[in-house]
Amino acid sequence: MHPTRARRLDDFEYCGPHRYSLTFCAYQRRALFTDTDLVHVMRTQILRAGAERSFEISAYCFMPDHLHLLVRGSNQDACLPRFAKHAKQLSGYHGRRHTRRKIWQAGFFDRLLNEAEDARGVIAYLLMNPVRAGLAARPEEYPFSGSGICELPELVDQVRPYL
């Protein structure tokens, strides 16, 4: 097993309409995601990969050295490993053109959300990361969080009881 890759469930196919919490780490944990232009490029490509691989990007948060995502497969063809590979390839290629540096560490970390789990708690955790790290006073103030399906203020309103 690759040392930077979290172990996957042996009896689960990672395909279909499931929800996942993902973390992609920047290469050598460099603080790359503090540049507004780079984050815009990366976000565009992550959302593109979602659209091309049948994944809804429910929420994202670019921390300085990693990216958190909450994603949901939108049909039976949605395959998490294919989405993650495509997202990292697209964003890595375009990000490297912007920075002239390698973007992503190998592998990714994932957590399958069970069907009964309320995604709002996961989204609240994700949105509070910059607050806990001292990068913003409130989730609404952090410029590198959002969603592929709604605007940040609406996302924050949806999870406010969990913040």
Is the pLDDT at 7 greater than 80? The verdict is: no
What per-residue confidence (pLDDT) applies to 13?
Answer: 81
Mean pLDDT of the chain: 93
Residue 8 binned pLDDT confidence (cut-offs 50, 70, 90): low
- The string over 21-58, giving b where at least 16 C-beta atoms fall within 10 Å of a residue's C-beta and e elsewhere, is bbbbbbeeeeebbebeebbebbbebbbbbbeebbbbbb
Q: Say how many C-beta atoms besides its own lie within 10 A of residue 139's C-beta.
A: 23
* pLDDT value of position 146: 97
Residue 68: is its pLDDT beyond 90? Answer: yes
* Cβ 80 vs Cβ 9: under 8 Å: no
- Predicted local distance difference test score (pLDDT) of residue 115: 87
The Cα–Cα gap between 43 and 118 comes to: 25
Sign of the C-alpha dihedral computed for residues 133, 86, 58 and 20 taken in this order: negative
Mean pLDDT, rounded, for 100-125:
94
- Distance, CA of 57 to CA of 145 (rounded, Å): 12
Q: Yes or no: say if 27 and 104 are a contact pair by the CB < 8 Å rule.
A: yes
| C-beta neighbour count of 113 within 10 angstroms | 17
Tens-place pLDDT, residues 15-61: 999 999 999 999 999 999 999 999 999 999 999 999 999 999 999 99
Domains of the chain: 19-162 (3.30.70.1290)
CA distance 45 to 39: 10
Instruction: Using DSSP, state whether 82 is helix, strand or coil.
Output: helix
Whether the pLDDT of residue 118 is over 60: the answer is yes
pLDDT value for 83: 98
